[in-house]
Amino acid sequence: MSVDVQTQPPAVRDPRAAGAGPQRRKRKLTVARPWLLLVPALLVLAGLLLWPLIRVVLFSLQDYGLREIVSGKTNFIGLANYAEIFGNSTLWTVALPNTVVFAILSVSCTVILGTLVALLMASLGSFCRTIVGSAIMIAWAMPAVTGTYVWVWIFDADNGIVNQVLKNLGLMHESFNWFTNPVTFYGIVLLNIVHHGFPFIAITILAGLLGVPKEMLEAAEMDGAGGIRRFFSIIVPSLKQVFAVVIILSTIWDFKVFAQVYLMPGGAGSNRSVLNLGVWSYVESFGQNRYGFGSAIAVLLTLVLLAITVVYVRTMLKEDKL
């Protein structure tokens, strides 16, 4: 008696399923490879930037002065330095208004002047555009220290060009010290910052202007739109992201202005009515040897700049999606 045995055919394995594991591992390696390459640079940046920032935060929580530096001991007082800052009238009446108002004025003036120069350069031929661009980049390349001393010399109370010209014109009989009054003091700082910062704005906006379709501008001109109408109806919407980036960058730079204020007569702390947050932090730290209190001011300024930087990064990400 014979028994029929039915044999099952061997299961056929899908070659795609067999290779799914190696492909998945290869994909993960491809994603992780850029980060692995960045690890050395990130470690260096962490050592140069992150660790000093952590130390500043730790100092801001201490009553840290010369005694602590010599003894090497720590004296943690919690948030007492921050409480003293917010209870100090210098923050609300001098440092914060000077920082915020100056940043608003300098950003506005720098962007307006840079935009006007960019429009001028866009209307020129390539040869003249190159000459103008090279000329304005001299101001951009000038170090902040050098530029500040030039403006101090121009407005010097004894031998300054401005006082001499005003005297010769009969508009002034005695020399005027431009650096004692906070308004004239920051007026000179404003001239310094605008003169140094507008070339970057001009070149950046010029790059965007050259990308605006000429057909749109010519069509608007044929429809009777004037220059101002074409600027606000076509150019501004087309360069919305460019304007956002340059405004945020200028705000970051102008909020942390230091050398242009500190190097001016009276700006190093002798005239406390012209202090801004950056100089106030430096003066309290190295002038009064209150490193903990000065570090707390620096942390507050860093938090403000961090908030502005977050806005800048989000703007850049939106621009990449467009």
Q: Indicate the residue type of 213.
A: P
Q: What is the pLDDT of residues 256-306, one digit of tens each?
A: 899 999 999 999 988 999 999 999 999 999 988 999 999 999 999 999 888
> Helix, strand, or coil here: 223?
coil
- Give the pLDDT score at 321: 59
Alpha carbons 305 and 154: distance in angstroms, whole number: 32
Mean pLDDT of 133-149: 89
Mean pLDDT of 144-173: 90
- Give the pLDDT score at 116: 94
- Give the pLDDT score at 42: 83
Q: What is the pLDDT of residues 159-215, one digit of tens each?
A: 889 999 998 888 888 888 999 999 999 999 999 999 999 999 999 999 988 888 888
Extract the tokens encoding 290. 């209150």
Q: What is the DSSP letter of 272?
A: G
Q: Please give the full DSSP string across 56-94, using - where no structure is assigned.
A: HHHHHTB--SHHHHHH----B-TTHHHHHHHT-HHIIII
Mean pLDDT of 119-136: 89
- Give the pLDDT score at 310: 84
pTM: 0.82
- Give the pLDDT score at 278: 92
Mean pLDDT of 127-145: 88
Mean pLDDT of 137-153: 90
Extract the tokens encoding 235. 């150019």
Q: Is the pLDDT of residue 79 over 50?
A: yes
Q: 61 with 77: CB under 8 angstroms?
A: yes
Q: Please give the full DSSP string across 3-19, using - where no structure is assigned.
A: ---PPPPPPPPPHHHHT
Per-residue confidence at 20, pLDDT binned at 50, 70, 90? low
Alpha carbons 147 and 161: distance in angstroms, whole number: 15
- Give the pLDDT score at 88: 92
- For the chain, domains (ranges, CATH) are 91-321 (1.10.3720.10)
Q: What is the pLDDT of residues 43-69, one digit of tens each?
A: 888 888 888 889 999 999 999 988 888
H helical segments located in 158-223:
161-168, 182-209, 214-222
Q: Is the pLDDT of residue 249 over 80?
A: yes
Percent of the chain with pLDDT over 90: 44
Alpha carbons 288 and 282: distance in angstroms, whole number: 9
Q: Is the pLDDT of residue 1 over 50?
A: no
